[in-house]
Amino acid sequence: MTKLIFIPLAVFLVAFTIANTQAAPKNYVIDSNHTYPSFEADHLGGFSVWRGKFNKTIGKITLDREAKTGHVEAVIDIGSIDFGNDNLNKHALAPDLFDVQKFPQAVYRGTFSKFNGDTPTEIRGELTLRDVTKPLTLTIKRFKCLDSHPMRKKEVCGADAYTELNRGDFGVSYGLIEGHLPEVRLMIQVEAIKEE
């Protein structure tokens, strides 16, 4: 009788131990020195493509690869926009484009929504730009984590994601009447360092 009681008790203890040693969600801080959301925007209805990036982004990522869950919050400093053209940078901050005095930040909040094994492949969320919030889904093209980054000696994860949006939906409508196309391709390289 003692053996019959002991066996299920042992199985329960082993299962309990395994359940409690599984990986918990990990928190990461976005590395601003290795994170640069970039974009491609039309000029004059196909005449050329202007490319630029934002030089300052902060935020946090929570990820549980075993449970296939997690979320992202990224805050982009609109004033850090960089086309590689000083005059265009200045105009981009003006009221008829990003209006940086009223709307200094863009914020993206999302949840990891698809995985390939334990690798996230999609984030569904919302982008707030110029005080307008719209759904925005990011496709993750590449994703990699290192347990010990060769320089930082900490766990670091990196990803490359992309999406497309209509800038007119967010009130960035300058030039649309003149024939500039509203579609903007957004590409995000991000690296994030695990919190201690």
Q: Is residue 93 part of a domain?
A: yes
**Under a CB-based contact definition with an 8 Å cutoff, are residues 62 and 26 in contact?**
yes
For the cut 90, the answer to whether the pLDDT of residue 3 exceeds it is no
In this structure, is the dihedral angle defined by the CA atoms of residues 174, 180, 183 and 188, taken in order, positive or negative?
negative
Q: Is residue 14 part of a domain?
A: no
pLDDT in tens, 78-94: 999 999 999 999 999 99
Q: Would you state the pLDDT for residue 24?
A: 87
Instruction: Record the tokens describing residue 128, joined without a space.
Output: 């707030």
What proportion of the chain, given as a percentage, has pLDDT over 90? Answer: 83
Q: Is residue 95 part of a domain?
A: yes
Residue 136 neighbours by CB under 8 Å, 6+ apart: 108, 110, 125, 126, 127, 163, 165
Q: Is residue 165 part of a domain?
A: yes
Q: Is residue 5 part of a domain?
A: no
Q: Is residue 48 part of a domain?
A: yes
Q: What is the rounded average pLDDT for all residues in the chain?
A: 90
Q: Would you state the pLDDT for residue 64?
A: 97
Total of domains in the chain? 1
Q: For residues 124-139, give the mean pLDDT.
A: 98
Domain that holds residue 138: 23-194
CATH number at residue 150: 2.40.128.110
**Under a CB-based contact definition with an 8 Å cutoff, are residues 120 and 143 in contact?**
yes
Helices (H), the chain: 2-21, 86-92
pLDDT in tens, 18-45: 444 456 899 999 999 999 999 999 999 9
Q: Would you state the pLDDT for residue 23?
A: 62
What is the pLDDT confidence band of residue 196, given thresholds at 50, 70 and 90? Answer: confident
Q: For residues 124-146, give the mean pLDDT.
A: 97
For the cut 50, the answer to whether the pLDDT of residue 125 exceeds it is yes
The reported pTM is 0.86
Q: Would you state the pLDDT for residue 153?
A: 77
Q: Residue 151: what residue type? A: M
Residue 42 neighbours by CB under 8 Å, 6+ apart: 49, 50, 180, 181, 182, 183
Q: Is residue 35 part of a domain?
A: yes
Phi and psi based region of residue 175 (left: phi greater than 0; alpha: psi -120 to 50; beta: remaining): left
Q: Is residue 12 part of a domain?
A: no
For the cut 50, the answer to whether the pLDDT of residue 117 exceeds it is yes
